[in-house]
A and B are shown apart, each in its own frame.
Chain A
Amino acid sequence: MAFINIRNKEIQLKIVYYGPGQGGKTTNLLYINKNFSEKIKSQMVTIDTYGDRTIFFDFFPLDLGQINGFDVKIQLYTVPGQSRYDTTRKLVLNGVDGIVFVADMLASMRRKNILSLKNLHENLIKYHKNIFNIPLLFQFNKVDLSQKGYPVLTPERLTDDLNRQLKRPWITASALTGENVALTLKKIISMTTANIKISLN
């Protein structure tokens, strides 16, 4: 849930990049870090933790500065996609406000995309969150591979596999070239901010 501090006039949102392993979640953040770190005035941090053996997740604090009198801070996280790191994924999802599901467009990744989305659904339930209610944006990553002759899944097939019931916005992207990476981030932040309904006692 979004962290709002009325006294300090501070809003913190947590956005998680979720998806199968090797799908391009970290590459998304690396691109933002490389191209916008000066404007954002922050750096990406890779955290090494213990519990699920040695694992990594990425953290990228994004300071948007003063907006409507509030200091808006966005925390971007990625999760390890490999199935064996489920404990970390659950941990990172704690308090999530918005999710970018980075699906891999490679044809061979079809099942992994489906399983990863299923895993997201199950892990959200553990935090009493509903995948149907949370701001969620699909990013179909590696669109550049189709031009290189690799067998890729069409956006129609991916929406059919993953988004048939959810009916969420989706976008094709290439985290490697940066195509639509910033747009993805902009969209999910907008979706998440628009979703905040806060009333404080």
Chain B
Amino acid sequence: MIDLDYKNLATGVEERLDEIFADDLRGYNSQITKFQYFETPSLANLKSIIMSLEWEVTDDHLIDLIQEIKRLQKAYSENDQLKKLLRLIFHLGRYIRIHKSHTHPYIFKMLFRFYNSSSKIASGKYSNHENAKIVNNEIKRYLSLKAYLKRENKSIFRRSLKKANTLEESLLSSIDSLSKQKPFASKDASKNHYRNLNNDFKELKKFIYLEIKKLREDLQRIVTLIHKKA
């Protein structure tokens, strides 16, 4: 096994590059900054994550959001008002995690709104009373959003149920009309063939009827559950 002395090689390469680019390297600030992670409480990361989420909902961004909220909750452990807002953001994050790309667009607006209010509180420019007022307003908004989404979900189920009923009717009527149709085959075709075809139609009709019935029952059960929860 041959080992290359890569440490000396790296030094040699660096010296050669200094020779080549000597004039240029003198001309500018040769300071390369090693990134320092923000240890001080900062909401900048949170905004960046929310913007990324608005652009594309991915598991990575959602994990980032949860981690960032946990970090901020620790960093602002003494700021109860801010912690409440962070909790609201966390709940919205959980909603996005469930609904992914089907998330209601208003959720992202709300995320930005909560972020803005959080940065207002974190800035320390407002009194405790003003902070409490900001948070209470946001909680009210959150609750009304929650109620709105519940209503939306209910109406979606109602629409689905109606759609299923219409589908059932249209399918059954088309099958009926098909089975009543006189066969257009030639006179030579055997009678058994038409009888089999008729039986197949009847079976198909029965199958579709049962499937749609099950579907309707499921939807009704979900609607009843929602009503009970509400």
List the interface of chain A (C-beta within 8 A of B): 4, 6, 11, 35-36, 39-40, 64-65, 67-68, 70, 72, 110-111, 114-115, 155-157, 159-161, 163-164, 167-171, 178-183, 185-187, 189-190, 193-194, 196-201
The CA of A68 and the CA of B15, in the complex, are separated in Å by: 11
Q: B2 touching A115 by the CB < 8 A rule?
A: no
Please name the residue on chain B nearest to A65 by beta carbon. B16
Tell me whether A114 and B24 are in contact (CB under 8 A): no
Instruction: Determine whether the beta carbon of B10 is less than 8 Å from that of A194.
Output: yes
Q: Are B45 and A182 in contact (CB under 8 A)?
A: no
Is the Cβ of B25 less than 8 Å from the Cβ of A68? no
CB distance from B43 to the nearest CB of A (A): 11
With A39-B20, A201-B1 given, is the CB distance from A169 to B6 under 8 Å? no
The chain B residue sitting closest to A72, CB to CB, is B13
The answer on a CB contact under 8 Å between A183 and B10 is: no
Q: Does B18 contact A (CB under 8 A)?
A: yes
A11 touches B20 (CB 8 A): no
B204 within 8 A of A: no
Q: Are the C-beta atoms of B35 and A193 separated by less than 8 Å?
A: no
Whether A167 lies near B16 (C-beta < 8 A) is no
Do the beta carbons of A187 and B32 come within 8 Å of each other?
yes
Q: How large is the interface on B (under 10, 10 to 19, 20 to 34, 35 or more residues)?
A: 35 or more
Chain B residues with CB under 8 A of A194: 6-7, 10
Residues of A within 8 A of B56 (CB): 115
Contact status A11-B48, CB under 8 Å: no
* Chain B residue nearest to A39 in the complex (CB): B20
Known: A4-B4, A170-B33, A194-B6. A181 touches B13 (CB 8 A): no
Quick check: is B9 within 8 A (CB to CB) of the other chain?
yes
Q: How many Å lie between the Cα of A194 and that of B18 in the bound state? A: 16
6 contacts between A and B (CB under 8 A): A36-B24, A157-B48, A171-B32, A182-B21, A186-B14, A189-B13
Are B33 and A182 within 8 A (Cβ)? no
**CB-contact partner of A68 in B8, B20, B30, B37, under 8 A:** B8
Do residues B9 and A167 form an inter-chain contact, with CB atoms below 8 A?
no
Nearest B residue to A163, CB-CB = B35
Neighbouring B residues of A163 by C-beta, 8 Å: 35
